[in-house]
Chain A
Amino acid sequence: AQSVTQLDSHVSVSEGTPVLLRCNYSSSYSPSLFWYVQHPNKGLQLLLKYTSAATLVKGINGFEAEFKKSETSFHLTKPSAHMSDAAEYFCVVSDLGNNDMRFGAGTRLTVKP
């Protein structure tokens, strides 16, 4: 069965500095990988997804992620943080073999002025 680990429960950055949210996964087959964002009292919104096409995936709001099979990682990055990026971020893995989605525990991003 697949699983996903978000390596940091909380990340704090200053506005205008880069963001790195780390995600490692395990999968028996060809995974699809997703990053979702959740602002307070809101539902989850898709940022980007990888489904076996280009390994560098660009998403909304300037975020991107790179699928690295050798490292079983799918880290989320953004060159310059904005105050509005403060939210909870979830990495999700979905296995082609068993049609199941597994959510990470989430990383809370704080952006300081």
Chain B
Amino acid sequence: ETGVTQTPRHLVMGMTNKKSLKCEQHLGHNAMYWYKQSAKKPLELMFVYNFKEQTENNSVPSRFSPECPNSSHLFLHLHTLQPEDSALYLCASSPEALATVYEQYFGPGTRLTVT
């Protein structure tokens, strides 16, 4: 499989559950990102990893916990979420973190619903 893949594509979880989102990129990139996309709001950057090191954390609540074991894989661990956390969570990768000349390649997203 090529590009950026995300699993699961859809997830419904209760507020007391613990779940994880997975992202994998097959592009040989060194940077990976998590974004949150809510209805009628601009895309929100959550976390940035460059060469497995976290370089950005945009004031994301601690109920979201990222993990980057290597440059190809990125996880988002979820626990005790709130209904307002329901959104499309997008993973992206690029050759380097936030280098302005590089575009980002996006996965299809995980549609998360918190009940």
Contact = CB atoms under 8 A, between A and B. Distances in A.
Interface of A: 31-32, 34, 36, 41-46, 49, 51, 90, 94-96, 99-101, 103-106
Interface of B: 4, 6, 40-43, 45, 90, 92, 97-101, 103-109, 111
Nearest to A101: B98
Nearest to B3: A43
B65 to A, nearest CB: 22
Contact of A99 (B99, B104, B107, B108): B99
A106 B103 contact: no
Given A103-B43, A104-B42, A106-B42, A96 B100 contact: yes
Contact of B109 (A31, A42, A105): A42
A59 to B, nearest CB: 11
A103 B42 contact: yes
Given A101-B45, A106-B42, A41 B111 contact: yes
Contacts, number: 50
Contact of A43 (B4, B41, B99): B4
18 contacts: A34-B103, A41-B111, A42-B109, A43-B4, A43-B90, A43-B106, A43-B107, A44-B90, A46-B104, A94-B98, A94-B100, A96-B100, A99-B99, A99-B100, A100-B98, A101-B104, A105-B40, A105-B41
Contacts of B90: 43-44
Contacts of A36: 106
B42 A32 contact: no
B12 to A, nearest CB: 15
Contact of A44 (B6, B42, B100, B106): B106
A105 B101 CA distance: 21
Contacts of B40: 105
A101 B107 CA distance: 17
A98 to B, nearest CB: 9
A94 B101 CA distance: 8
B100 A51 contact: yes
A99 B96 CA distance: 10
